[in-house]
Chains A and B, each alone.
Chain A
């Protein structure tokens, strides 16, 4: 059974860089059938697409975040990662990693809350 698990600091200071890793188990991140992505949800609010990556390293970023986002993949560790720079309180959210059938998330991690605060 495919499982995704987010990991990383739960507290980040304003203006710093948020860094999260998603570890995939029960399947290969190098599968040609899937993309891998990040989606976030501010507390009590809706869902926002952050971006996605293919195992080859090809990426797509939401234009609203593109200047601050980097998504990378490490196929040797079966992991992919998110970096979001210059964070503010507006970036406080639960961050989910997901397996994507192109742009449909069909498997999700449990999510991790990242709070931006000094």
Chain B
């Protein structure tokens, strides 16, 4: 299985801050990477697909980049409603695998 490693595991930031999360794959996955947001007690929500494409209806402050093994997820200006855990997921190889998550908190 492809291992997905996210960093940091947790992050505290202030409203308005630029926030960056990284995801590293154990092998080349091209751009076959998604990013999800999961709020407590809720199902994950797809934000970014194919590494950099914004899902319909997702605010433009969210963005993704990268290819190969190294990927970045960015929130350009943190809002209070962005408090959640964020996961990356590769779908280049079966089984699809997820990162361990990054818990984002407000400072």
Which positions in A face B, CB cutoff 8 Å?
46-49, 60, 62-64, 96, 101-106, 108-111
Contact = CB atoms under 8 A, between A and B. Distances in A.
B44 A108 contact: yes
Interface stretch (B14-22, B65-73, B75-83, B95-103): B95-103
B95 A111 contact: no
Contacts of B42: 110
Contacts of A111: 43
Contact of B91 (A46, A96, A104): A104
A99 B73 CA distance: 23
A22 to B, nearest CB: 12
Contacts of A60: 94-95
A104 B44 contact: no
Contacts of A106: 46, 55
B43 A104 contact: no
Interface string B26-51: 00000000100000001111100100
B87 interface: yes
A109 B43 contact: yes
B31 to A, nearest CB: 12
Given A60-B94, A104-B91, A106-B55, A47 B44 contact: yes
30 contacts: A46-B98, A46-B99, A46-B100, A47-B44, A47-B89, A49-B95, A49-B96, A49-B97, A49-B98, A60-B94, A60-B95, A62-B95, A63-B95, A64-B95, A96-B43, A96-B44, A102-B91, A103-B94, A103-B96, A104-B34, A104-B49, A104-B89, A104-B91, A105-B44, A105-B46, A106-B46, A106-B55, A108-B44, A109-B43, A110-B42
Nearest to A51: B95
Contacts of B91: 102-104
